């Protein structure tokens, strides 16, 4: 595209100094796009580190810039003052991109944690992976494509939120009130395993010096009989103050 060519042509301008301007533009754009992705995670209340997103995108962009341009310049395949590009290629620029994506496995693994009844960090790991891809795209000069890609991803995230919010309002819920100090998570997990009625998530939403309350979320199609059975099993436990079933 014309925009991409304009960015790539910067490398040949200003008597070879255009490579600095190229690196500046691609790194700034990659960093801004990664910051947008990271902020989207942060606004959801996720335990994500914006610095990680920024550093990953900026580093990926720089690595791709070096992979494409610095090695070519060092081997004499490009004359930055005249724009001449030789035909003697003795390397594969895709190896850097492959290395970046492979390295993302370590960061992604560190971001994924088992928490209560669910896995946390999967979306954060995926966001970091996307930030690496954005950095690679910007580093190769595909800035417009990276911007469009970011907008498309954000659009589908919004659509996802609308769908999830709609389903969550209809999701069967047991509201559990219990005495402070009651091991509610262990009890709920034990009953879930024993009855094979899967509790999708547990959210603590209210507490005081004496009592605490939590919402136990179940799959959308969980039957009323299953919820009542689960509720009856909870009633057998000491420390339960009240149980209420909603959305059935």
| Statement to judge: residues 186 and 153 lie in one domain | no
Question: What separation in angstroms does the CA of 99 have from each of 71, 160, 185, 197?
Answer: 16, 31, 41, 43
Q: Collect the ranges in the chain with pLDDT lower than 70.
A: 1, 15-17, 44-48, 70-94, 111-120, 167-168, 248
Q: How many domains does the chain have?
A: 2
Q: How many residues does the chain have?
A: 248
| Statement to judge: residues 125 and 9 lie in one domain | yes
The domain containing residue 163 runs over which residues? 2-167
65 with 26: CB under 8 angstroms? Answer: yes
Beta bridge partners of 115: 118
Tens digit of pLDDT for each residue in 158-179?
Answer: 888 887 777 667 778 889 998 8
| Statement to judge: residues 6 and 78 lie in one domain | yes
State the pLDDT at residue 19: 75
Of 149, 167, 185, the last residue of a domain is 167
| Statement to judge: residues 15 and 136 lie in one domain | yes
State the pLDDT at residue 88: 53
Q: How far is CA 30 from the centre of its chain?
A: 16
| Statement to judge: residues 194 and 214 lie in one domain | yes
State the pLDDT at residue 117: 54
DSSP character at residue 241: E
State the pLDDT at residue 75: 53
| Statement to judge: residues 135 and 151 lie in one domain | yes
Of 167, 191, 210, the last residue of a domain is 167
Q: For position 200, which CATH number holds? A: 3.30.70.260
Whole-structure pTM value: 0.63
| Statement to judge: residues 20 and 117 lie in one domain | yes
| Statement to judge: residues 163 and 228 lie in one domain | no
State the pLDDT at residue 85: 54
């Amino acid at each position: 595209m014309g925009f991409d060519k304009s960015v790539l042509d910067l490398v040949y301008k200003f008597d070879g100094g255009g490579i600095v301007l190229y690196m500046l533009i691609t790194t700034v754009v990659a960093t801004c796009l990664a910051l947008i992705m990271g902020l989207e995670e942060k606004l959801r209340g996720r335990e994500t580190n914006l610095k990680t997103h920024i550093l990953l995108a900026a580093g990926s962009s720089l690595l791709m810039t070096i992979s494409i341009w610095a090695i070519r310049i060092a081997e004499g395949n490009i004359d930055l003052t005249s724009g001449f590009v030789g035909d003697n290629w003795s390397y594969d620029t895709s190896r850097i991109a492959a290395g970046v994506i492979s390295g993302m496995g370590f960061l992604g693994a560190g971001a994924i944690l088992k928490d209560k009844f669910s896995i946390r960090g999967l979306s954060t790991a995926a966001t970091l992976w996307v930030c690496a891809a954005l950095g690679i795209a910007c580093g190769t000069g595909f800035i417009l494509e990276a911007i469009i890609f970011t907008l498309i991803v954000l659009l589908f995230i919004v659509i996802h939120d609308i769908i999830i919010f709609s389903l969550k309002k209809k999701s069967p819920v047991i509201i559990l009130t219990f005495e402070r100090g009651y091991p509610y998570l262990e009890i709920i997990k034990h009953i879930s395993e024993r009855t094979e009625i899967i509790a999708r998530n547990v959210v603590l939403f209210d507490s005081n010096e004496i009592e605490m309350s939590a919402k136990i979320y179940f799959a959308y199609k969980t039957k009323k009989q299953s919820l009542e059975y689960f509720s009856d099993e909870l009633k057998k436990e000491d420390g339960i103050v009240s149980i209420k079933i909603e959305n059935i």
